[in-house]
Amino acid sequence: MEGTAGYLIAFILIVKGYSVRGVMGLDMPSNWMALHWGLNSVNSRFIIDRAKVKADAFIDSISEGKKEFRGIVPLILGLLLSPVSLGYLIIGRFFLSKLFFASEDCTGCGLCAESCPVKGIKMVGNTKPRPYWTFACESCMRCMGYCPNQAVEVSYSFAIILYFLTTLPVSVYILNELSESAPTGPYLFVVNALLNYSYILFVFFIAYLVLFWLIRIPLLNKLCTYTTLTHIYRRYHEPDTKLRDMLKNQG
C-alpha cells in the first residue's frame, strides 16, 4: 500500500512546474531488515519480475500519450492514516535512527558513511573509527544491506530502554513545579506538547551518545549483538544494484 507517496511526489513535481501524466505504485521486496529478515533471491526475483511487467506496461501507456493515475484506493487509505504518517515524521524516524549500532565485526572501513544517501552516518573515533547514526538517518537500510561484514545491527534491548525513558511524564513534573506560573487553557496543551517533544529528542540524543561510547566495550557489544534478531536475519538489497553504481550516481 503506497498510500500518499506517489501522489505526494506528483504534487511536488507539479509545484515545480512539471506536467505529470501518471502515478502508479509497485509492490517491491521489503528491505526493512530492522523488523524482519531479507527475502531470499528466488522470492525477491519473483516480486521484481512481476513489478517490471507492470512498470513496462505503464511506461508504454505514458509514451503513447495516455494518462495513467492509479492507486486511488491506497491514496484514500493513506489520507485516513495520515496521523500515523505525521507521528512517524515527528517522532518515529528519530527513534529508528537511534537503534543502529556496529557489532565487533565492524572494521571501520567507512563504506556505510560514504554510501549513505542522506549523509546520516558519521565515522567517529581516531584509532578505530565507528559509524554513528545521526538524526538525518532515514532508515533506508542501505548500510545494513550492503555492509561487507554484516556488522550493522539494530538493538531491540536499547529500543525498550528508550521507550521507558521517553514515556516518563517529564512535562507533568515541570508544570507541577511551575504550578503558579504555568499556562492554562489551550496554551497548556501547546506547552505540554513542546516540553514532551523537546524531552524525547533530548533523550534520543543523549542516550544514543552514551550507547555509542559504551558499545566499544567488547562485553556490552556482544550483549547487544546477541540480544537482537537482526544478528541472525538474512541481509537484502536489490539484486541487480551494486553499491559502486550508487556511489557513482552520488558522485
Whether 8 shows a pLDDT value over 70: the answer reads: yes
* Average pLDDT score over the chain: 91
- pLDDT attached to residue 178: 66
Could you report the per-residue pLDDT of 103-150, keeping only the tens digit for each? 999 999 999 999 999 999 999 988 889 999 999 999 999 999 999 999
Is 23 in a helix, a strand, or coil?
A: strand
Give, in order, the Cα–Cα distances in Å from 162 to each of 32, 87, 212: 20, 17, 14
pTM of the model: 0.86
pLDDT (tens digit, 9 = 90+) per residue, 173-195?
A: 776 766 666 666 667 677 778 88
Indicate the helix (H) or strand (E) that contains 75.
helix 72-80
- The C-alpha atoms of residue 135 and residue 120 are separated, in whole angstroms, by 7
Q: Would you report the helix, strand and coil content of the chain in percent, each value rounded to 5?
A: 55, 5, 40
Contact 132, 121 (CB under 8 A): yes
Position 128 scores a pLDDT of 87
Question: Can you give the pLDDT at residue 181?
Answer: 60
